[in-house]
Amino acid sequence: MNAVKHPIKRSFVFFLVPDFTMIAFATALDPLRSANRMLGYEAYRWRLASIDGKPVRASNGVECAVNTSLEEERKKMAGPERPNIAIVCSGINVERYQNKSAFAWLREEYNRGVAVGGLCTGAHILAAAGLLSNKRCAIHWENLPGFSEAFPKANVFADLFEIDQNVYTCAGGTAALDMMLKLIGDDFDENLVNRVCEQVLTDRVRSPTDRQRLPLRARLGVQNSKVLTIIELMEGNLSEPLSLIEIADHVDLSRRQIERLFRTEMGRSPARYYLEIRLDRARHLLIQSSMPVVEVAVACGFVSASHFSKCYRELYARSPQQERVDRKQLLAA
């Protein structure tokens, strides 16, 4: 009696970029292995690729061997080994990754009907390859400010993951698990997803729109709902800061009440706190983008580069220009 032959549901190529995030890669790959085990057959196949077929070092220092190079992947495009999905695995320092060969390969795969994806900061590489114009995508919250400025045509969200037709992106970390569980659920059913969850010891599949970061209440240790609302208003209006009068109107408090609340809850004035979160965004832009300092200043609500530099130096004990120089030296080391 012949054994039942089960069709392959999907085949993956995971393209590893130097300094890729291991946790995102592992939590994307292992649900596929677990699903195969639960099903009792190979519904999912995968292989790992790098530019030259050589091992790739993750950001934690671990080297990962691969199966193929991009040259070999190109040869597979027209044959039975063409993947269903090509997923970019990247992590820190993604803004300096400029490989025209990789960008061209991703475009070729996409144009041949292969879905593309990005883990952690992978959306940055997909966007650099020209594949995210007018597409919804997700990227790690730490990289979101620089990404938004570098790729204004991409519709980026601070979500755990985004699936826009044949483009799959996630914010990294354990969000890769949620995206893969969604994919497995689409291919099979909730029962298989639940069995995989039991295997990997997670109790639920998070929604794509769940927060990447802890809620403000947990992150800041603040319980006062008015203060939390004010901070959310501040974080949502960094390029054009609201005046204290405008904030007071939003939350139905007087300026004096807001001043008193911030002194009690945050240990500083609301103006000082607002300045600090604007400077924090500026720091991310200086580190992650090549935007001129004056453009960073404008993007963070400063009317002049000199005022921006003065405030930045007071908080970080170095100028914006020195921040960028230090970053370049670190990357070159």
Instruction: Report how many domains make up the chain.
Output: 2
Read off the CATH number of the domain in which 184 is found: 3.40.50.880
Write out pLDDT tens, residues 126-153.
999 999 999 999 999 888 888 988 899 9
Q: 203-223 pLDDT, tens per residue?
A: 777 888 776 766 666 667 778
Does 144 lie in the same domain as 38?
yes
Residues 185 and 126 in one domain: yes
Assess whether 221 and 284 both reside in one domain. yes
Residues 46 and 181 in one domain: yes
Query: 10 Å Cβ neighbour count for 282?
Result: 27
Same domain flag for 141 and 26: yes
Contact assessment for residue 282 and residue 296, using Cβ atoms and an 8 Å cutoff: yes
- Is 242 among the domain residues? yes
Residue-level pLDDT at 123: 97
Task: Give the pLDDT confidence of 281-330 residue by residue, as tens digits.
Answer: 899 888 877 789 999 999 999 999 999 999 999 999 999 999 888 776 66
pLDDT of residue 288: 79
H-run or E-run covering 38: helix 22-39
Mean pLDDT for the chain?
91
Determine the Cα–Cα distance for residues 86 and 118; give it in Å rounded to an integer: 9
pTM score, whole prediction:
0.77
Question: What's residue 96's pLDDT?
Answer: 84
Exposure string for 226-246, b = 16+ CB within 10 A, e = fewer: ebbebbeebeeebeebbebee
Q: Does one domain contain both 150 and 239?
A: no
- 115 and 183 in a single domain? The answer is yes
The tally of CA atoms less than 13 A away on the side-chain side of residue 29 is: 15
Q: Say whether both 139 and 275 belong to one domain.
A: no
Range of the domain at 321: 216-331
SS3 content of the chain, % helix, strand, coil (to 5): 50, 15, 35
